[in-house]
Amino acid sequence: AQTVTQSQPEMSVQEAETVTLSCTYDTSESDYYLFWYKQPPSRQMILVIRQEAYKQQNATENRFSVNFQKAAKSFSLKISDSQLGDAAMYFCAYRSAWAGSARQLTFGSGTQLTVLP
């Protein structure tokens, strides 16, 4: 079974600064997807970014980028120019890419990000 580990329960960053959230995962599969979702105080789960394991290039979405290290099974999220609206719980998630296999997301335990003005 796949597992996802987020070792930082809480992080804080000064507004306009950069912060990196860590995520590691364990899998025996070679093809899969990795995601970062954010959950602000409204509790809505919002997709931040997605990475396909077969792609070597790290995904980027505006101020959000990932550092995907497949051999190390590491998938960190970097938030540049942090804004107050980035304050949220961030979840890393894994999903197998094999057709017919389980399609559910496996989530980490989350990192609570505080943005300081």
Partner 1 sequence: NAGVMQNPRHLVRRRGQEARLRCSPMKGHSHVYWYRQLPEEGLKFMVYLQKENIIDESGMPKERFSAEFPKEGPSILRIQQVVRGDSAAYFCASSPGRGPDTQYFGPGTRLTVL
Q: 52: buried, middle or exposed (CB in 10 Å: 19+, 13-18, 0-12)?
A: middle
d(CA 101, CA 110): 25
With CB under 8 A as the contact rule, the residue among 52, 65, 67, 76 that binds partner 1 is 52
Based on CB atoms, which residue is closest to partner 1, 3 or 18?
3
Considering the rule CB under 8 A, would residue 11 count as an interface residue with partner 1? no
Dist CA 90 CA 51 (whole Å): 16
Near partner 1 in 75-104, by CB under 8 A: 91, 95, 102-104
Residues that bind partner 1 (CB under 8 A): 33, 35, 37, 42-47, 50, 52, 91, 95, 102-110
